[in-house]
Amino acid sequence: MNVGIIGSGTMGIGIAQVAAMNGCEVFLYDQNTSQTKKSLEGLQKVLARLVEKSKINLEESENIYNRIKFCTELQDFKDCDLVIEAIIENKEIKTKVFQQLEEIVSDKCVISSNTSSISITSLSSELKNPKRFIGIHFFNPAPLMPLVEVIPGLLTENNLAEEMVSLMKSWGKIPVIAKDVPGFIVNRIARPFYGEALRIAEENIATPEQIDDAMRTLGNFKMGPFELMDLIGIDVNFSVTKTVYADYFYDPKYKPSLLQQRMSEAKLHGRKTGKGFYDYAENAVKSVPEKNAKLYEEIFMRILSMLINEAVEAKRLGIASDEAIELAMQKGVNYPKGLLAWGNEIGYKKVSETLQNLYDEYQEERYKQSPLLKNI
């Protein structure tokens, strides 16, 4: 199978590696050729480490690398069976690329986007043949993260989603089908993990260190929300939040944070800039949070209740099946449990009471409960 990848950044080269490791001939294109060269050099180091760890042998490493063709123009994609776009999150730029691509590839070629938040229907609407367009959303780093969201748009051919699910399974991934809604499954449901944590910090109820510590110790999350934002990139996380907020017609639940905007403006983007909510300099002293059992329980229940409410609402709206919702949050963002199962475990009544108390305190629609929550 010939697979074209547009964009050779972290996601693009990661997807290229996945496809090449599964026997595909990969055509890698980026307008910035120096970025492609840099990414391919990085891939050589990644493959060398896999050889050192005996995950693959030297011959396999060479074969994987040689399956990836460095392309200098989109015309090189003419024989591709599938193209996955992984460039900047900008609808106009993506649409222009897809329109160019349509003039090059065959009618049978599937065109897809790795977008994390832009409507698939919207991206396909300007194409001559929108039936063969679909969302295939990998998570970073693509070679390690098992989840792939497969998102058919309103104009996508009926059986294409299942075909892509089968392909992703053959690549060793765990695919889930999601409705074409802002944020799909993971980026919609996960918004309160960041948004509510930011609200708590903005109100000086707790420090980022305390919030992270509470979510790790009480919820067994591998990373707290501020650590995770620093890893993802505060600018990237903020951009997704703004997109979801606007696409849901400014629903207060998804309102972006002024603190996150200021961090983004200051270019304090997290690990990639050396400083975000935490300082990543070699000599930086990590502050130890002041532990407070009562405060920690309040933080944990507040954030978790918002997350469970989002999962319940996704279930109510049929955004994905219960199994897909649970799998997506565990395999896409490493949550320790599925949120629907977690709601059952702690009791939906307790979740409902927590949200009602927040609503009574703030009088904000942000804390409105899913109509399904009280009936589970």
Catalytic status, residue 187: yes
Q: What is the pLDDT of residue 59?
A: 95
Q: What is the pLDDT of residue 372?
A: 97
Catalytic residue (one of 2, 8, 117, 187): 187
Catalytic status, residue 344: no
Catalytic residue (one of 137, 239, 305, 309): 137
Catalytic status, residue 149: yes
Q: What is the pLDDT of residue 132?
A: 98
Residue 220 corresponds to which tokens in the numbers above? 């067994």
Over residues 252-295, the pLDDT tens digits come to: 999 999 999 999 999 999 999 999 999 999 898 888 999 999 99
Convert 340-373 to b/e letters by CB count within 10 Å (16 or more is b): bebbeeeebeebbebbeebeeeeeeebbbbbeeb
Over residues 301-335, the pLDDT tens digits come to: 999 999 999 999 999 999 999 999 999 999 999 99
Q: What is the pLDDT of residue 20?
A: 98
Cβ 362 vs Cβ 203: under 8 Å:
no
Catalytic status, residue 116: yes
Catalytic residue (one of 22, 61, 112, 116): 116
Strand order in the sheet with 82-85: 68-71, 25-29, 2-6, 82-85, 110-113, 133-138, 147-152, 174-177
Q: What is the pLDDT of residue 189?
A: 97
Q: Map tokens 């050889």 to a residue.
A: 51
Catalytic residue (one of 85, 102, 149, 196): 149
Three-class DSSP category at 223: coil
Quick one: which of 128, 191, 123 has its CA closest to 151? 123
| Gap between the Cα atoms of 254 and 330, Å rounded | 21
| Residues in the chain, pLDDT under 70 | none
